[in-house]
Structure 1
Amino acid sequence: MATPQAQGVRQRPQKETAGGGSMKKPRNDIDSSSGDANPMNMNANVAETVEKAKQAGKEVAQKDWDYKLALTVITVLAFVTRFWGISHPNQVVFDEVHFGKFASYYLQRTYFFDVHPPFGKLLFAFAGWLVGYDGAFLFENIGDSYISNKVPYVAYRSMPALMGSLTVSTVFWIMWESGYSLPACIVAASIVLFDNAHIGQTRLILLDATLVLFMALSVLSYIRFYKLRHQPFTRKWWKWLLLTGISMSCVISTKYVGAFTFFSIGVPVIIDLWDLLDINRKQGALSLPDFCKHLGARILGLIVVPFLMYLFWFQVHFAILSRSGPGDDFMTPEFQETLSDNLMTQSAVGIDYFDNIAMRHKETKVYLHSHVDQYPLRYDDGRISSQGQQVTGYPHNDTNNLWQIIPAAAMEGLGHRVKNGDLVRFRHLVTDMWLLTHDVASPSMPTNQEFTAVSVEDANGPRYNDTLFELRIENGKPGQEFKTMASHFKLVHVPTKVALWTHHTMAPLPEWGYKQAEINGNKNLLQTSNIWYVEEVPGLAPESPRLIKEEKKPKTMPFLKKYFELQRAMFFHNNALTSSHPYASFPLQWPFLLRGVSFWTENDTRQQIYFLGNPVGWWFASSILAVFAGILLADQVSVRRGVDALDTRTRSRLYNSTGFFFLLWAAHYLPFFIMGRQLFLHHYLPAHLASALVAGAVVEFVFNIEPPELATFAEAQLGEAKKGSTRSQAQQSGERLTGRPIRERIAGQSLLATWAAAGVVVAVLMWGFWFFAPLTYGRPGLGVEQVQARKWLNYDLHFAK
């Protein structure tokens, strides 16, 4: 597989394909096709040649009408299947609770946090803005009514439905531009057109329609660009290069799995550049400066421009979300100070030594807590503890969460402000014990240190050094004041250099610890899970000058600093999505469509929306992937054994064009096997689209191919005829012996077989779509027997009893 070439047999004169094939010559141009044109007759035949070229051009234009007509019909059907009944249900469905809510936050300019980039969500906000919606509804719960809350939900849903419809057209266009026959184009497009999963996902306020459309447009744009490789640096060449980069940027600006599309396009780009570097290439060697121009153009069009566009959407994101909102907690205090109405900025209070404070973990929200109970003598694995007083994480506000902050060095009087970098100690207010950590393994993690509390005698005596901690404010300046809410900090033990730590993935303590969170010392000081903050300073007198607030204006922060901070938070929380979900699935299940996802149910009408692909289409496409792999293996084995079963043009198309589609599938599927986050069936939709392209290509390969032995026989007979004949006689003899009528008859039969195969495939796809349509559109409600009839595999459908 070198490049996404598109060479091969078509049943019409054809334009240059993505593989670089030139215009197919008229069948009666024997001299030209044989490569043995007669110079003596060249001038005499000029008029005839021009006339033939005109006729060929007319034939191409006429023949293109069948493709245009098919594209029109398929596009209309795509709009019908995506938009039909789009107003049902008039309730919040599945993840509309997230992406509809984000659109409302944009319209309210309220800062929120999400693990996905902003482009797809901005499109939904744009749809709401177009219809004049103010974003008052926040999509809190699945099943909430759109009608009673006056939400223009049809406008929201129309955005992905439009993109889902255009995706079907783009699939057809990809096949057409790649030089495939009309039946192959129809098969590939129909697999997506009549797929219940693509329809179901693109009729709701979800991101996948944007992701899949721009992934398809990336492929189409690159094929168009590649076909212009013999016209480098022309306006069209630049146009399709830049459109490729822009489309890929839109993919990764919607979800980070768009990186798979960059890889899919990047591989053929690198191979193409490697070919351009070859000094012995058939089309002529490039000078090193010319090669550098090609390299620079691709870097500009496929890396620089996409990255700048990607940054642009984040700039728009920050510019719109200027008000404080639910996403504040995910960001640093410095970031939060750039938002208006930020509670942290308004409520921050300076902390003095000897204040009583409650320290809260940023990620898990548990308070640093202690009580009179001690660690057991032995843990479940037999390790011995210190039997010191327990220090745990407690999720509720309680007096046992209060600690008095004490300076390490003696200070006279009160009113000394705590600052960044200070050495501090902590006294538990209720039990009068002092916080420390030491070289004893924690209850569940032998690699981490145990936190405990000791008496004042020990704390001020032999254990004094063990009670010393350095206060490190995140991104704080030397001497910066320590404040409630505004100062996120790490508490680093001075002697052992471990940080006060807990984590949401740790199992709670056993019964002896009252199922509370474990607190221990983490040796990795760089982890963001080491961060804590002080929620309040209880007991301050109302007249305290520390409670007097001055009106503060939002601060500014450089764009790149905000961008990198948000990127770190997005990647961290995306990787943290490891909790179980009842409808989560494994990548191995996706190609076989072993289970789906329940999106919405209504008990009274027995209606339900169950996210499920068309099993017929999925199984067909998945089996074709296996067939394609088998074909490549068989061809390689045959070649190794000296049997050349394929002609050059067929093999080129098989490896380069179909191979490119197969790479597209693998790149959008296989990486999920190494992911640890929650995964669902919708993650397979881009790969499923690629499998549809492979299916259309393989259908043509199987049913629409000229037998290579016929071509070999024809060439041999033509050679024999030339030995003892005149030129004219050789042509006539060759035409008779090569069996041109036979070849045309076989080509016609081959095309007929391809149409028959395509017709069967499309008919079965339509039946599968219709049979599962009630689960896709959410109506009509099905009886018990009807539901059970659709439980082909492990489909956990509702109302089956």
Structure 2
Amino acid sequence: MSSVKKKTSSKKAVVADKKADVSQSSEAQQYVAKDTDLRYYWGLTIVTVLAAFTRFVMIDLPPKVVFDEVHFGKFASYYLERTYFFDLHPPFAKLLIAFVGWLVGYDGKFKFENINDDYVTYNVPYVAYRSLIALQGTAIVPVMYWTMKTLGYSASACLLSSMIVCFDNAHIIDSRLILLDAMLNLAVALTMLAYAKFSTYRTQPFTRIWWIWLNLTGVALSLVISTKYVGVLTYVTIGIAVVHELWILLDYQRGLTLTEFSKHFVARFYSLIVFPFILYLFWFWVHFAVLNRSGPGDTFMSSEFQESLVESPLAKFSKPVNFYDIVTIKHKETEAFLHSHKADYPLRYEDGRISSNSQQVTAVKATEGEDSILNDVNNHWEIVPIDPKFDKGVTVFTNDIIRLKHVGTGGYMLAHDVASPLKSTNEEFTITYDEEPYSRAYNESLFRLRLAQGGSGANKNRKKLVKTKATPVRLIHVDTVVSMWTHDDEVLPEWGFGHQEVSGNKKNTDPSNAWFFDTIVNLNANDSRSTYIPKKVKPLPFLKKWFELQFLMFHHNNKLSSEHPFASQPNSWPLAVSGVSFWNDNENKKQIFFTGNVVGFWFEVCCLAVYLGLLLADQVTRRRNIHLLNKKAQSRLYNTLGFLFIGWCAHYLPFFLMNRQKFLHHYLPAHLIAALFSGGLAEFVCSNNRIQSSSPIGVNKHRFTALVFVVCAGLVWFYYFFLPISYGHISLPPEEIRKRQWLDMKLHYSK
């Protein structure tokens, strides 16, 4: 009897266990069921449509030049006119913008000179330009979605990562204006996608599909570095991943001979370094082929380089300068003209300092066109040699020593060891009437012409023909070795008629010391210089031109260390505590302020912090021989998320070492990768990854869906809240503007 009971209870236990197994199995199926392709495609369609809407809506507003459109719109115009210019960035993205201008038949006459210049008045195809950028910005979002799918994440994780960028205000603003950042960010996103796809085929080496994605990774890397030089950080990211993979392949347990390993190394070296570099050089070849006419960038280049360019229409007005020519002299940076008049510096300045109380030398801008300058003898200067054998008709070269005679009053320009009116550390410029050779006043009126352009050693002091409008020079005072300089930071008070101060700058290599001999006033029809003779073009090998330009680009990039009111430090970027004023309309009280979506930025920071905590906890427990994570979870934590985390670090941390101007937009590639990382980590946290657990292994879809919904709702809310200052389409009352002045943000019209 007892044996029968035992058998009955045993059968019940087995049935109960089977029911529990079935229950647990069905629950596990609920968690680990893979998303269908239809679910992925619906998510991809939704985020792509949303990205297109946020970037294309009201893209024609404002119909004026905004922020750095003054640079990149201008460069497109130079491409269309084929006139040579100099810029710090590689040419690919700029060529793409110019190509759009060429497609719509634009002639490039508008030069984007000033922020707020009106596009409509000059019939500029700015909507076509901006649409190209918006298309690139839109493409970033589905590329991110595809990357997350390739990495094996659920449709919800794909949606979360792509929504962080889709509704990020900084990405949206950069994708609606004629800027390079959308192209850079798209190239970064394409690189991450291509390498992720390549990684899925690493078990099929040297197959056709393996080669396709390896080479596409190289193409994407080339596009990154051909857009901006910060793209080298993407190279670092992929480089770390490749070195890690090669290190694993080198292990003898992998079964590869050294010959087979060498094939892997050579394949990656060619596809990720050699091939991208060839593409990089190709864009420079196109750059030089298009820009075959002399232009505003000539002054940066060597005379040998300049001789390889066809003269621009400006060359017709560029004439060799001779001694005893009467000229106007123009400051390169402020475009003010050297001037003097019958008025003296006050004996005592407002701060109590004493002056020489002698004739003023100032700088004035053309208020009524260039004719107002040419017709005023107080802007005329005669170039007088110190060597009596130099007669009229002898050409002036750099390194020559000259005197400048003021035509309006008959005196000679002089600099001496007296403090200037506004800059107490600089020397005063004045006029002397002492013509006695070798007297003190005579010696103080001697100036040496130096070529004011890049170069070092003997190259910067080389002898070169001085031509009007074409040869930038520094006028170095022989006696005290200061450079003639002016500025418009502050103008002279009433006694100086609001003119710009002219003074002696002790920083002789300062680029703002550059002047031009602008126009020869006394040039007559009988002078041979009145006849324009086009110069003969001398070819220069491509690599020689490329090396010269490459050196100058790196040289000037390293010099970008001056202060800027909206520059920021990297420690402020992840939390988006500051921003940049891109555009403001004082008349209608509208503005565009560049800042990130705080919800997305802060969510990323939380995910990065949680990840470091998870790594620390896992390593500590492993030290005590406690293994909590299953193998799949370990792979996700250390391999997939580890790769994305390294990518974020590589695109962010190096900025702490850079001694140059830094802005929030430099963080956007790192933000993009952090968005991929955050979607992956959010899914990881909402999963049961433990080896031994009563709960099934897999993603808790209900918990994860709730998290995605909350984050996305926050993203959309912040996007909408900052909409007026992201698009600049409406004005806000001061109280509404103050509500948006979070953290260190300083907005216009808040009072």
User: Conserved in 1, the CA contact under 8 Å of 2:324 and 2:382?
Assistant: no
Deviation string 1:591-617 (CA, Å, 9 cap, x unpaired) is: 222344455567898766544433222
Match of 2:255 in 1: 284
1:202 to 155, 175, 179: 175
The equivalent of 1:170 in structure 2 is 143
Distance 1:255 1:478, change over 3 A: closer
Distance in 1, matches of 2:452 and 2:742, equals: 57
Shift of the 648–565 alpha-carbon distance from structure 1 to 2, 3 Å rule, reads same
- 1:688 partner SS: helix
Contact 1:174 1:220 in 2 (8 A): yes
Q: Cα deviation per residue 1:668-706 (whole Å; 9 max; x = unaligned)? A: 233444556554433332222111112112112212132
Q: Distance in 2 between matches of 1:479 and 1:772?
A: 57
Aligned partner of residue 678 in structure 2, secondary structure: helix
Determine helix, strand or coil for the equivalent of 1:661.
helix
Aligned residue number for residue 519 of structure 1 = 504
CA drift at 1:83: 3.3
Alignment partner, residue 17 of structure 2: none
**Does 1:298 find its partner at 2:268?**
yes
CA contact (8 A) 2:427 2:504 kept: no
Which residue of the other structure, out of 265, 284, 292, is the alignment partner of 1:314?
284
Q: What CA distance in whole angstroms lies between the structure 2 residues aligned with 1:523 and 1:608? A: 39
**Aligned-partner Cα distance in 1 for 2:307–2:415:** 33
Q: Which residue identity is paired with 1:155? A: A
Match of 2:242 in 1: 269
Distance 1:602 1:331, change over 3 A: same
Indicate how the Cα distance of structure 1 residues 512 and 272 shifts in structure 2: closer, same or farther if over 3 A, else same: farther
Q: Does 1:559 align with 2:515?
A: no
Once the two structures are superposed, the pairs formed by residues 153-552 of structure 1 within 5 Å of their partners are: 153-276=126-249, 278=250, 280-287=251-258, 289-323=259-293, 325=295, 327=297, 335=305, 338-340=308-310, 342=312, 345-353=315-323, 355=325, 362=332, 394=363, 399=378, 402=381, 404-406=383-385, 411=389, 415-418=393-396, 424-426=401-403, 428=405, 459=438, 481-488=465-472, 500=483, 516-520=501-505, 533-552=516-535
Q: Normalized against structure 2, the TM-score is what?
A: 0.75
Return the match for 2:644 from 647, 661, 667.
661
Offset from partner CA, 1:724-772 (integer Å, 9 cap, x none): xxxxxxxxxxxxxxxxxx5xx5225634433333333334333444444
Please report how far the alpha carbon of residue 77 of structure 1 lies from its aligned counterpart in structure 2 after TM superposition: 3.3
User: Does 2:112 correspond to 1:124?
Assistant: no
Contact 2:67 2:115 in 1 (8 A): yes
SS at the partner of 1:535? strand
Q: What secondary structure sits across from 1:707 in the alignment?
A: coil
2:403 counterpart SS class:
strand
Structure 1 residue aligned with 2:369 = none
Which residue identity lines up with residue 647 of structure 2 in the other structure? L
Q: CA deviation at 1:477?
A: 12
SS in 1 for 2:696: helix
Indicate if the aligned counterparts of 1:362 and 1:532 stay in contact, CA closer than 8 A. yes
Q: 1:670 to 1:420 in 2, by over 3 A?
A: same
**2:612 equivalent in structure 1:** 629
- Paired AA for residue 651 in structure 1: Q
From 751, 756, 776, the counterpart of 2:706: 756
TM-aligned CA distance change 1:337 to 1:642, over 3 Å: same
Residues 607, 780 of structure 1: 8 Å contact kept: yes
Aligned residue in 1 for 2:686: 703
Do the aligned residues in 1 keep the contact of 2:137 with 2:182 (CA within 8 Å)?
yes
1:161 to partner: Cα distance: 2.3
Structure 1 counterpart of 2:50, one-letter code: L
Post-superposition Cα deviations, 1:519-546, rounded to whole Å, max 9, x if no partner, equal 256687xx86776553344434442234
How far residue 212 of structure 1 moved from its aligned partner, in angstroms, is 0.9
TM-score, normalising length: structure 1: 0.71
Q: Percent identity?
A: 46
Match of 1:71 in 2: 44
Q: How does 1:24-39 map to 2 (within 5 A)?
A: none
Q: In the alignment, is the contact (CA less than 8 A) between 2:426 and 2:504 conserved in 1?
A: no
In 2, the alpha carbon distance for the partners of 1:424 and 1:788 equals: 59
Shift of 1:218: 0.9
What is the aligned counterpart of 2:665 among 660, 679, 682?
682
Answer with 357-366 or 266-275: which moved more: 357-366
What amino acid sits opposite 2:138 in the alignment? Answer: S
Between 1:392-401 and 1:128-137, the stretch displaced more is 392-401
SS in 2 for 1:282: helix
Deviations 1:563-590 (A, max 9, x none): 4454455556556666666655443333
Cα distance between partner residues in 1 of 2:224 and 2:306: 29
CA distance in 1, matches of 2:378, 2:722: 58
Secondary structure of the corresponding residue to residue 254 of structure 2: coil
Cα distance change, pair 456–290 in 1 and its aligned pair in 2 (3 A): farther
Structure 2: gaps spanning 5 or more residues: 1-31, 366-372, 454-458
1:539/1:147 CA distance change after superposition, 3 Å: closer
Which residue identity does 1:221 align to in structure 2?
A
* Deviating more after overlay: 505-514 vs 187-196: 505-514
Q: Assess, with a 3 A threshold, how the Cα gap between structure 1 residues 501 and 221 changes in structure 2: closer, same or farther.
A: farther
Cα distance change, pair 77–282 in 1 and its aligned pair in 2 (3 A) = farther
Between 753-762 and 772-781, report the one with greater CA deviation: 772-781
- Superposed, 1:30-109 pairs within 5 Å as 63-88=36-61, 92-109=65-82
Matching residue of 2:3: none
Tell me, in whole angstroms, the C-alpha distance in 2 between the residues paired with 1:375 and 1:520. 21
Q: Which amino acid aligns with 2:438?
A: A
Instruction: Specify the alignment match of 1:12 in structure 2.
Output: none
Query: Larger deviation: 324-333 or 748-757?
Result: 324-333
Change (3 A) 1:689 1:394: same
The number of aligned residues is 699
SS in 1 for 2:156: helix
CA distance in 2, matches of 1:449, 1:142: 34
One-letter code aligned to 1:282: Q
CA separation of 1:473 and 1:120: change in aligned 2, threshold 3 A: closer
When structure 1 is superposed on structure 2, of 306-315 and 484-493 the one drifting more is: 484-493
**Equivalent position amino acid for 2:98 in 1:** A
Contact 2:328 2:379 in 1 (8 A): no
